[in-house]
Amino acid sequence: MAKWNVYVTRLVPQPALDLLAEYCDLEINPEDRVLTRAELLEKVRGRDGILCLLTDILDDEVFTAAKGVKIFANVAVGFNNVDLEAATRHGIMISNTPGVLTEATADMAWALLFTVARRVVEGDKFTRAGKYKGWGPLLMLGQEITGKTLGVIGAGRIGTAFARKAKGFDMKILYHDVQRSEAFEAATGGTYVDKETLLKEADFVSLHVPLMPSTTHLISTPELKLMKKTSILINTSRGPVVDEKALVKALQEKEIWGAGLDVFENEPELAPGLAELDNVVLCPHIASATWETRTNMALMAANNLLAALRGELPPQCLNP
């Protein structure tokens, strides 16, 4: 049987490539970098399916070039890189990878929370620089975590997993979303509050919302001003959920105590001033970056792609 013609826009863990290679003639971007726009437009032509990433901007122009392609299988849960309406118009299926990255992403939000609250990065730099001259009663005091109030914005899979992991720390959990979630409350014991109450009362605010017009700059100057001077903001969702310029100002002026960011408004660029601050910890969008999770994401995407090519409905199809 003839194999399907599939393009992979960037190297992903090998098990997914092996699976695809059983059924497809694969061309893979050999370089570990995002394709240029011109390359993407050229590479999608004449294919049956595309395995793609959140760094590929998929819009009407790409779908026009991709005539005949049945599916773009996105190796990510977030799909703000895709114009879903345009894909549907072109009769192209789009799939994502929900569920498999939930725990890893929630773990990373905790890693950032601990790192900022207990000044781990500052402590590491200080010690390596030979500045540690002995134990000090006021040396690098941080924020206590146990017993504090956790504010979770976004009560979906990742927000729920994040809050569930707070159990060992005897925390009070407040959450906010567009509506109450019984599932969130059952899993975490959290209390639903409006956004303002959450921002005012939480010691740690963690963001777990998808990027949409309604969540763009969900946190900006007014929200940062509502937060406690001792509070910490964690973002592992999407960069534009936070107005990064406003955050830099709030961190410079000590409106809040610190922030942990895995995502940025204009990735990979950082807002001016951000990298100079000691009260922020910055990571390069690695919340799902464990071998296990990235392998499972790529396998899920590969299975979606193969299902579409077989004429089946891919399990994680976003526009059935």
Q: Who's near 226: CB < 8 A, 6+ residues apart?
A: 196, 199, 200
- Whichever of 231 and 288 has its CB closer to ligand DGY, that residue is 288
- Whichever of 78 and 142 has its CB closer to ligand DGY, that residue is 78
Catalytic residues: 238, 267, 285
Show the binding pattern over residues 36-75: x = contacts ligand DGY (CB under 6 A), - = does not. ------------------x---------------------
CA torsion, ordered 70, 75, 77, 82, to nearest 10 deg = -50
- Tell me: does residue 189 bind ligand DGY (CB under 6 A): no
Show the binding pattern over residues 97-136: x = contacts ligand DGY (CB under 6 A), - = does not. ----x-----------------------------------
- Whichever of 77 and 173 has its CB closer to ligand DGY, that residue is 77
Distance of CA 210 to the CA centre of its chain: 9
Residues 192-231 that bind ligand DGY (CB under 6 A): none
Q: Who's near 237: CB < 8 A, 6+ residues apart?
A: 78, 154, 158, 207, 208, 209, 210, 211, 215, 263
Least distance between ligand DGY and beta carbon 198 (Å): 23
- Whichever of 78 and 189 has its CB closer to ligand DGY, that residue is 78
Residues 272-311 that bind ligand DGY (CB under 6 A): 288
Residue from the set 62, 76, 87, 158 that interacts with ligand DGY by CB under 6 A: 76
Largest Cα–Cα distance in the chain? 73
- Tell me: does residue 78 bind ligand DGY (CB under 6 A): yes
Residues 137/114, Cβ–Cβ less than 8 Å: no
Residues 202/150, Cβ–Cβ less than 8 Å: yes
- Whichever of 151 and 239 has its CB closer to ligand DGY, that residue is 239
Q: Which tokens go with 279? A: 């009260």
Q: Each residue of 106-125: b (16+ CB within 10 Å) or e?
A: bbbbbbbbebbbbbbebeee
Which parts of this chain interact with ligand DGY (CB under 6 A)? 54, 76-78, 101, 288
